[in-house]
Amino acid sequence: MPIKPVRRLARTLLATTFVAGGVNGLMNPKPRAEAASALADKGRTGLPDALAAKVPDDPGQWVRINSMMQIAGGLLLASGRAPRPAALVLAATVVPGTVTEQDFWAEPDPDRRAVKRIGFLKDLGLLGGLLITASDTAGKPSLGWRARKALERHDSKAEGAALLGAAKLRGAQLADAAQGQGEHLAAIAQERGSQLGEFAKERGPQVAEVAKERGQQLSELARDRGPQLADAAKERGQQLGELARDRGPQLAEAAKERSAHWGELARERAPQLAEAAKERGAHLAEIAKDRGPELAEAARQRGTALVDVLRERAEAATRQAEPAGKTRRFFR
């Protein structure tokens, strides 16, 4: 069963008792007024003078007021309009009626004492139900919860403002520190730049002198080693010439023998090769006739590409030869 209809039904049933009791108190106020007067008389005699002076002189009037409060609170609770304040009002009306009508402790008759004790316990149950109703928020946040959340939001805003102020202050401090460090580094760089400039100015002639000496050493080394390299090349040339002169007759004899063998083989295979060439020639002629234009175009394109490649390689060789010529002129 849904919660809202159950809550509405429970409030209606709880309010019915108070509406009926309030109507009964207005229509027949005498029993309640007598019980209230007896209780007031006991209060005047048993209480201290300060409290006895506050006991009302006309208890019947308070009985009527209590009955009207029960009727009004019961109707508000049953209709669902301001149920929590209405439950508090009804809880306030339960206490005087319970004390005046259900005083089982002052009843001498055992039977009536038992009846009043049961009524007293019922009134306590009604009071507990009214307190539950007064604290029921119908699933909505209570005033205390909303007050705590509002206080937390206020604290969060205050904390955020404090953090923002601290961040701004820290940012200003860091900016000042960065500015001071930048000026310090600039001063150091300026000082070290001057020192490096002075060092380069002082050591520049020494470095130039060392480079000049190294250049002269390399030039003298090339001039000293040049004749040795030329003699080595001359010796290797003579050795290769003698080797060719020694191996020449053997190579010539081997070529003569191989040529005779190849000639005999060609004479034997000539008719077969001629027949095959004849057959293949006709076929190749047909293919050449059909593929001639394509092959010519492909050959033209490959020729153009080869010409470009040869031109690039010639230019690259020319560029490589120029530094070599400059080097030879330098050593001369």
How is 183-229 classified by DSSP, letter by letter? HHHHHHHHHHHHHHHHHHHHHHHHHHHHHHHHHHHHHHHHHHHHHHH
How far is 17 from 10, CA to CA, in rounded Å?
Answer: 12
Do you know the residue count of the chain? 332
In this predicted structure, what is the pLDDT of residue 212? 76
In this predicted structure, what is the pLDDT of residue 311? 81
- Report, as an integer, the average pLDDT of 302-324: 76
pLDDT exceeds 80 at position 16: yes
In this predicted structure, what is the pLDDT of residue 331? 41
The string of pLDDT tens digits covering residues 319-332 is 776 654 544 444 44
In this predicted structure, what is the pLDDT of residue 72? 92
pLDDT, the chain, mean: 76
- Report, as an integer, the average pLDDT of 37-43: 68
pLDDT exceeds 70 at position 299: no
In this predicted structure, what is the pLDDT of residue 139? 63
Please choose, from the candidates 18, 40, 26, 42, the residue with its C-alpha nearest in 3D space to the C-alpha of residue 93: 18
Helix axis angle, 59-79 to 30-46, nearest 10°: 120
CB 83 within 8 A of CB 130: no
In this predicted structure, what is the pLDDT of residue 203? 78
Question: Among residues of the chain, what percentage have pLDDT more than 90?
Answer: 2
How far is 92 from 18, CA to CA, in rounded Å?
Answer: 12
In this predicted structure, what is the pLDDT of residue 210? 73
pLDDT exceeds 60 at position 248: yes
Q: Which two tokens stand for residue 86?
A: 């209405």
Burial code of 199-229, b = ≥16 C-beta within 10 A, e = fewer? eeeeeeeeeeeeeeeeeeeeeeeeeeeeeee
The string of pLDDT tens digits covering residues 94-128 is 887 787 777 788 778 888 889 888 988 988 898 88
pLDDT exceeds 80 at position 41: no
Q: Which residues contact 319 (CB under 8 A, 6 or more apart)?
A: none
pLDDT band at 75 (very low <50, low <70, confident <90, very high): very high
Q: What letter would DSSP give residue 55?
A: S
Q: Which two tokens stand for residue 330?
A: 């330098």
In this predicted structure, what is the pLDDT of residue 229? 65
At 83 the three-state DSSP class reads helix
**92 or 241: which carries more pLDDT confidence?**
92
The string of pLDDT tens digits covering residues 206-245 is 856 875 787 678 667 757 876 786 677 578 767 866 876 7
pLDDT band at 51 (very low <50, low <70, confident <90, very high): low
**203 or 15: which carries more pLDDT confidence?**
15
Q: Which two tokens stand for residue 59?
A: 């208890």
- Report, as an integer, the average pLDDT of 32-60: 68
In this predicted structure, what is the pLDDT of residue 330? 43
**92 or 50: which carries more pLDDT confidence?**
92
